[in-house]
């Protein structure tokens, strides 16, 4: 015992290679376990800022936690006369956030230093009850009284049977076409074999359930053009027989566009420039469950519609800053868009998990 105490006091054991071999043999697994636990549970929280100096060396380096993705709509890196760097965006690009730790239920805020560049979050936490709608149809309590047609209630659901059921809003042929609007819908699709199943639509815009995507489309546009524009959200067979929601936006302007979100996930934006829905095209009413103006070529919707809402404004307007909640399952690519050539110098991101 005396010898042991003497050795400890003298520190001779620290010079022993056997001691250090055993020490590291035990310490390394312990440190690794502590690291794994820390990055998964973040016991002290997480609050970190990231900055992309656009145009600088490594701004597109995918080994970083926050980087700019290559895009055909981005210019090469450019240096200003004052030595600052930038790139010019004319269209779409994205920034990617791939943190080294596991983030759950984290508030993320992204902003871009540019006057004409908008940020679109990969996901939105949307509550339709927070919007003042011009039209609201709730199918959970029966077929709305202002709609006519032969869809029917069964076990508390509005049934569209895929064969001959549909509804329409009377005296609406001249509505929903003279300016911007936002459509919100909730439904269950049950037919994974056919395209062109209308959920809600007019003769010149429609939200469609297809067998491999959900599609928002407008057309014809202008007085003489037969152009049709669309935004699509790709799906698999697992999408069917489950309840979903969609937000479709039509925003005509000098740099007009249409947007589509499905289940809160951004599906895409399609720029329509100065094109606008042709107001003198067709004379059918707003319809649910079928596209009557395609002369019977489209299948009826097989499924259930729970809710539909329309307002004559864009509820998600242009913004150079956006916030969203990262749950761990969200897409981490954040779209940045510009309808005209615009210089981008800096993009910042802040992530907070308490």
Contact 267, 261 (CB under 8 A): yes
Cα–Cα distance measured from residue 328 to residue 349, given in angstroms and rounded to the nearest whole number: 17
Q: What is the Cα–Cα distance from 150 to 170, expressed in whole angstroms?
A: 14
pLDDT at 325 over 90: no
What is the pLDDT, as a whole number, of residue 20? Answer: 54
Q: How far is CA 11 from CA 4, 21, 222, 260, in A?
A: 11, 16, 88, 69
Res 331: pLDDT: 58
Say if residues 300 and 165 touch (Cβ distance below 8 Å).
Answer: yes
What's the pLDDT at 198? 96
Q: What is the pTM of this model?
A: 0.82
Cα distances from 158 to residues 200, 299, 308, in angstroms, run 14, 18, 12
Residues, the chain, total? 354
One fold for 46-124+317-353 and 128-311: yes
CA pair distance 134, 58, nearest whole angstrom: 48
Please tell me the CATH code under which domain 128-311 is placed.
Answer: 2.60.120.200
List the single range of 2-6, 100-104, 271-275, 296-300 with lowest mean pLDDT. 2-6
Q: With respect to CATH, is domain 46-124+317-353 assigned 2.60.120?
A: yes
| pLDDT band for position 177 (cuts 50, 70, 90) | confident
Would you state the pLDDT for residue 21?
Answer: 64
pLDDT, one tens digit per residue, over 183-222 is 999 999 999 999 999 999 998 899 999 999 999 999 888 8
**Are residues 70 and 92 in contact, defined by beta-carbon separation less than 8 angstroms?**
no
> Domain map of the chain by residue range?
2-41, 46-124+317-353, 128-311
pLDDT of residue 32: 47
Average pLDDT value for residue range 37-41: 43
Instruction: Among 40-49, 173-182, 286-295, name the one with the lowest average pLDDT.
Output: 40-49
- Of the chain, the percentage scoring pLDDT greater than 70 comes to 85
Give backbone dihedrals phi and psi of 3, rounded to 5 degrees, phi first: -65, -40
* Structure tokens given for 69: 């993705």
Residue 34 falls in which region: left (phi positive, over 0), alpha (psi -120 to 50) or beta: alpha
């Amino acid at each position: 015992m005396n010898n042991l105490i003497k050795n400890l006091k003298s520190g001779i054991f620290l010079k022993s290679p056997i001691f250090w071999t055993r020490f590291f043999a035990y310490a390394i697994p312990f440190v690794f376990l502590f690291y794994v636990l820390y990055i998964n549970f973040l016991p002290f929280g997480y609050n970190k800022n990231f900055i992309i100096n656009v145009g600088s060396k490594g701004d597109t380096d995918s080994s970083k936690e926050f980087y700019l993705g290559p895009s055909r709509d981005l210019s090469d890196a450019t240096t200003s006369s004052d030595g600052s760097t930038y790139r010019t965006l004319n269209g779409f690009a994205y920034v990617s956030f791939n943190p080294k730790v596991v983030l759950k239920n984290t508030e993320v805020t992204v902003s871009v230093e540019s006057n004409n560049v908008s940020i679109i979050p990969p996901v939105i936490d949307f509550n339709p009850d927070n919007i003042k709608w011009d039209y609201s149809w709730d199918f959970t309590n029966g077929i709305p009284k202002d709609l006519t047609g032969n869809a029917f209630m069964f076990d508390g659901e509005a049934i569209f049977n895929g064969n001959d059921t549909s509804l329409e809003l009377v005296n609406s042929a001249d509505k929903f076409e003279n300016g911007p609007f936002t459509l919100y819908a909730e439904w269950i699709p049950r037919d994974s074999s056919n395209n062109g199943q209308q959920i809600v639509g007019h003769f010149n815009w429609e939200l469609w359930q297809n067998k491999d995507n959900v599609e928002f489309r407008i057309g014809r546009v202008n007085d003489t053009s037969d152009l049709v524009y669309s935004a699509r959200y790709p799906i698999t067979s697992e999408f069917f027989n489950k309840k979903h929601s969609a937000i479709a936006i039509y925003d005509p302007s000098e740099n007009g566009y249409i947007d589509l979100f499905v289940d809160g996930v951004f599906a895409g934006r399609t720029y329509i420039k100065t094109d606008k829905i042709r107001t003198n095209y067709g004379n059918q009413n707003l319809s649910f469950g079928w596209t009557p103006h395609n002369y019977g070529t489209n299948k009826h919707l097989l499924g259930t519609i729970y809710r539909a809402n329309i307002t004559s404004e864009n509820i998600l307007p242009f913004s150079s800053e956006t916030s969203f909640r990262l749950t761990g399952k969200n897409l981490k690519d954040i779209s940045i868009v510009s309808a005209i050539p615009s210089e981008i110098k800096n993009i910042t991101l802040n992530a907070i998990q308490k």
